[in-house]
Structure 1
Amino acid sequence: MAPMSGLTAEFTVSDYLIHRLHEAGLRDVFTVPGDYVARWFDYIDDKARNLGSQLNRLGCRSELEAGYAADAYGRINGISCAAVTYGVGAFSLINPVAGSYVERVPTVAISGSPGTGPADRPFARTYKILLHHATGNYGADRDAYEDITAEAIIISDAVEAPAMIDGALGAALSEKRPVYIEIWRQLWDAPCAKPENPLVIPALPVDQDAVDAAAAHVASLIKAAAKPLFWGGIEVQRYGLQDGFAGLVDQTGIPYVTSLLAKSVLAETHPGFIGTYTGPSSDYSTYNTVDLSDLVIVTGDLLTDDYEGFVGKDFRQMVVAYDSTVRVGEAYYFQVPLSAFIEALSIALKGAGKREPWAVKGPAVIDPDFKPFPPDVITYARFFQRMLTWVEADMTLVPDESSSMYVSCNIPVNRANGFVSEAAWGSIGYASAAALGLSVAAPNARPVVFAGDGGFQMVAQTVSTMAVYQRNPIIFVMANTIYGIEQALTNDKAYTEGQPFNPFNVIPAWDYAGMAVALGAKGVAVTTLAELENALSMVKADTGAVWLVQVNLPKDDIPQEILRLATNVGPTPPETI
């Protein structure tokens, strides 16, 4: 079969990039077209080419959608890719890539750029014109990515392309961070050498003396502590260390919590699991366990300002192992990767015996309505109380940065990696587009999105992409015409005392269910509990379609969990609520 679109029969830079991405574990690329990158798409789409290393291309409606989908895909698959054009595409992709950087996802951002062709850089220099999509600084895109990637490179020579591609992909997989690869557009067809050896993934630097010293220090504190507690973090998942972490918990008998970002790092049926700790918005048993612990060992997690009260109180008594550094109080041990630390700590604790449980895992609790509402209407509390029994193990929960995030984390997840949230970067709108990526990376786990209407409006067109590629997420749009979490954080008295909502937090009402149908999906709007029950049965049974459920809520409703987060007041015992 002849190559399509006039593709050369020679092995090119395009082929090299496809082969290495496939070797790294990639199977799908999320794309937005543009003339500088389009030629690479021809190579991907030619299914007679690159046999054994083929990639699937999924066209997205915007760079924001492509980036969020790629980020979520990478959390499950271990590597992901979004490909866009120069300037307008690359700059639009920055926000998703920054989220991948903060939350340690090896997303490969690929951009084509002006090269040495007859209408590119030489022409622009001769005639003193500005090329389209360019700022005039032809390194600007790469420069913009330097602080949010492990490597940001521009490939301008076909001879150098293999080594540069290998270096960037190796950095992404080693550091679990995104990389930016920009390629001059005439190089897509340029011949280059084929891969001769496997892709090298550099090992993280290890100082064995520091590893042993850190493990011995932490082991001594654990042995002396009356109520030690592990905190399972996101690096446990990113580096594939679930078995090692679970073994450490089983060996010691020490219970564990997770952060919101790392929820479901292990299946939450594990007997040592206490709950998801989210600071003051946590449920009572989880909050109380963390508060009573006299030693918290944070294992592979970054700490955000959600935990400012905890960190401020316990800074000198806590252990944080993250990003190849172990901090024990105010002492630091460098070049200690988490894998080496977990292994060394397990060895250092051999013979210490298994502790009797000191923390009691409470039942999953959703706070009730914070004020009276008519008994038949849907509220946040009533909706998520129903989710406790409606959600099944083959679903992946995807809450957006919204009023739903800090209440949905109380839903038990009985499968590892069954909860995905952008809890640290926190870009609203992430979840809906992320569900596209998750449905591609793990087609047997149906994504269930809990989105605020404000966030959903930012990426609503992703429903069309889902329908085109016959994906099957369920998107619950919690519709109340308010950026609820923002309102609570800026003035919670709008809920508790009836003060006016901030005008900048008020958003227009959309017919989300009708829009879903217009975009090729299925939609239904619900306002009462009876309507919700009917919708829940319908969408669960229809496993082959995209469903959007517009959940109409009272405008003045907000989860108590969000109010606690806003006021920094911890939970009260359930029996007093």
Structure 2
Amino acid sequence: MKITIGAFLLQQLRNLNVNHIYGVPGDYNLALLELIEHDASVEFIGNCNELNAAYAADGYARLNGAGALITTYGVGDLAALAGIAGAYAESAPVICLAGTPPLYAMKNHALLHHSLADGNFDNVMNCFKQFTVAQALITPENAATEIPRVLSTAWQQKKPVYLQLPSDICDVVIETAHQFAAPRLPGSDANHLGLAAAALFKRLEQAKRPLILVDQMVDRFQLLPLVLAVAQKFAIPLTNMPTAKCVIPESTPGWQGGYSGNLSSPELFGRMAQADCVLSFGVRLVDSTTGYFSQQIPPQAVVDIQPYSLQLDNTSYPAVTAADLLHALLELAGETNAPAQATLPKPQHRLAIPSDAPLGQAYFWQRISHFIQADDVLVVENGTSGAAIGGIRMPDGVTLVNQPVWGSIGYTLPALLGTLMAAPARRHLLFIGDGSFQLTAQEVSTLLRCELKPIIFLINNEGYTIERYILGESSSYNDIGPWDYAKLPAVLNRHATPFCAAVATGQQLEMALEQASRQDRLAFIEVKLPMMDAPSAMKEFCQRCNNFNFGLHNPRRNA
């Protein structure tokens, strides 16, 4: 089949269900953007900068399965790189497409703008090699093989990839062997699979105190139905790392709450410490998700299940996919059914009556816990928002999008742009602090330009409260400029008519929530809270962070 390189690239993206591509135009990527401009099956969404485009593609990938952005060589690439690194840390398959100088100019080491003017065109590629799982400079000779290879790798490993497309080859016609189908995950080695399933079945038969612990992998590889089937078949209680909150529906029989070391409930912490078999699905024990390494998981109990391997009792089983393993395990279990497990009781919180008293974190989040609905998409920034949302029992179907491992503040606002386009039929709520908002605030203009209708909660507590609790409560470096946040959307798009409100009391919050719920437009609610008011979980985390980071020279130790 004869097709141009640009058209072939867009075809491959469509086969990954990528219908929106984020980015910023630049002279080296204009040929590809012009092709998109006249392609009804894919839409380019112009962002305010490349970092925001990377965040938007990440948010899109979380709900859509894959995302993409377009940059221009050098300045655009490196502006997006922090977002690509975040996608790697959080396992989001993002395809970064970079328009580069003409191929002949790169081969001749020409001194060009957007480069270091030294004739070196390897340096940007070398940067991306550190934060992506596959890369390629596309040429007419390799386009038919390298484009499918790189995109398939993103899909299979659920990590970002990087493609450079020279500006002079987008319209070059190439020969492809066949119509490219959507990539498939690798299969299992039949012998390894049989041995692995038998060994795991035997281990579960012997276990007296088993437990299932899931991380992001269960969501990224769509393993939840199989995990739940195994939990039901063998009557195994379940828990999740903070990075996988809401992956397990929180009304699931046997769900024990979230596990974060000794910041978990005492019952769950003790159950984990006494477990004799822990089915660990892609678990990473990171400082920020374990209460600074306070976990007590018996090493001899851990059964390490990764996307394409199993580690059990000092034996490795490579070439065994997690999905195939769970299918085989269920077949070995046959028709026998274990007793049904109990559902974790829901916390009984009576909502306080709204009043004219100043809002506090406790009241606000208690009210929000009643505002969240089944199937909502929650995009949640680190800080007081992340700590509070982590402690709320969620309705079924809620999807949580956050960045607890990479932890780049400002991620969530552009990510919201991606989640809205990936799942337009769902309600999307953003919770973002004022400090984080100031990093990427301009992307509100894109939300308004695209006529998207999220509900945005801007938590205004006058600066970096999470940093104040770590160190420097009254230090100037934790201060930010006092914006009039509720008036900003009108400035960022003079044609739009968003609903905007600033609330400081329970009654004002109640009226704003009612208005936001029945408005068919973007809602922006600035919530004014005291500077040093914070959820207790965040205060404890910050104290541990302080102890971990500053050692014997800790200013608090010496105070």
Measured against the shorter chain, the TM-score band is 0.7 to 0.9
**Partner SS for 1:37:** helix
Q: Note if contact 1:29-1:83 (Cα within 8 Å) is conserved in structure 2.
A: yes
Where does 1:166-181 land on structure 2 (aligned, <5 Å)?
166-181=148-163
Alignment partner of 1:317 is 2:293: no
Residue of structure 2 aligned with 1:89, choices 49, 55, 76: 76
Partner Cα distance (1:316, 1:513) in 2: 54
Alignment partner of 1:517 is 2:490: yes
Q: Note if contact 1:236-1:242 (Cα within 8 Å) is conserved in structure 2.
A: yes
Where does 1:160-559 land on structure 2 (aligned, <5 Å)?
160-193=142-175, 196-199=178-181, 201=183, 203-204=185-186, 206-283=188-265, 286-287=268-269, 289-291=271-273, 293-305=275-287, 306-307=289-290, 309=293, 311=295, 313-328=297-312, 331-350=315-334, 353-355=337-339, 357=341, 361-364=344-347, 376-416=357-397, 418-488=399-469, 490-491=470-471, 500-520=473-493, 521-542=498-519, 544-559=520-535
Identify if the C-alpha distance between structure 1 residues 381 and 486 changes in structure 2 by more than 3 Å, giving closer, same or farther: same
Aligned pair count reads: 535
Q: Note if contact 1:16-1:195 (Cα within 8 Å) is conserved in structure 2.
A: no
RMSD in angstroms over aligned alpha carbons? 2.8
**Partner SS for 1:478:** strand
CA drift at 1:456: 1.2
**Bigger shift: residues 476-485 or 547-556:** 476-485
Q: Note if contact 1:364-1:410 (Cα within 8 Å) is conserved in structure 2.
A: no
Residue of structure 1 aligned with 2:122, choices 136, 139, 142: 139
1:42-90 deviations in whole A, cap 9, x for unaligned? 100114xxx6xx2011111111111111111111111110111100111
Residue aligning to 1:19: 11
Alignment partner of 1:58 is 2:39: no
Q: Which amino acid aligns with 1:31?
A: G
Unaligned ranges ≥5, structure 1 = 1-9, 369-373, 495-499, 570-577
CA drift at 1:444: 1.0
Partner Cα distance (1:485, 1:348) in 2: 49
1:363-396 deviations in whole A, cap 9, x for unaligned? 248999xxxxx98222222111111211111421
Partner Cα distance (2:196, 2:102) in 1: 50
Identify if the C-alpha distance between structure 1 residues 122 and 351 changes in structure 2 by more than 3 Å, giving closer, same or farther: closer
Identity %: 27
1:156-180 deviations in whole A, cap 9, x for unaligned? x223212111111111112221110
Partner Cα distance (1:366, 1:345) in 2: 40
CA drift at 1:185: 0.7
**Bigger shift: residues 201-210 or 168-177:** 201-210
Alignment partner of 1:36 is 2:28: yes
Q: Note if contact 2:221-2:307 (Cα within 8 Å) is conserved in structure 1.
A: no
**Partner SS for 1:188:** coil
Q: Which amino acid aligns with 1:33?
A: P
**Partner SS for 1:192:** strand
Partner Cα distance (1:313, 1:266) in 2: 20
**Partner SS for 2:311:** strand
Partner Cα distance (1:109, 1:533) in 2: 42
Q: Which amino acid aligns with 1:177?
A: K
Residue aligning to 1:148: 131
Q: Which amino acid aligns with 1:152?
A: Q
Q: Note if contact 2:211-2:237 (Cα within 8 Å) is conserved in structure 1.
A: yes
Partner Cα distance (1:285, 1:428) in 2: 33
Q: Note if contact 2:136-2:163 (Cα within 8 Å) is conserved in structure 1.
A: yes
Residue of structure 2 aligned with 1:79, choices 66, 72, 87: 66
CA drift at 1:92: 1.2
1:321-347 deviations in whole A, cap 9, x for unaligned? 124233346554333322122223333
Alignment partner of 1:68 is 2:50: no
CA drift at 1:280: 4.0
1:494-539 deviations in whole A, cap 9, x for unaligned? 7xxxxx4343323222211111221234421111111111111111
Q: Note if contact 1:286-1:361 (Cα within 8 Å) is conserved in structure 2.
A: no
Q: Which amino acid aligns with 1:484?
A: T
Unaligned ranges ≥5, structure 2 = 546-559
TM-score (norm 1): 0.85
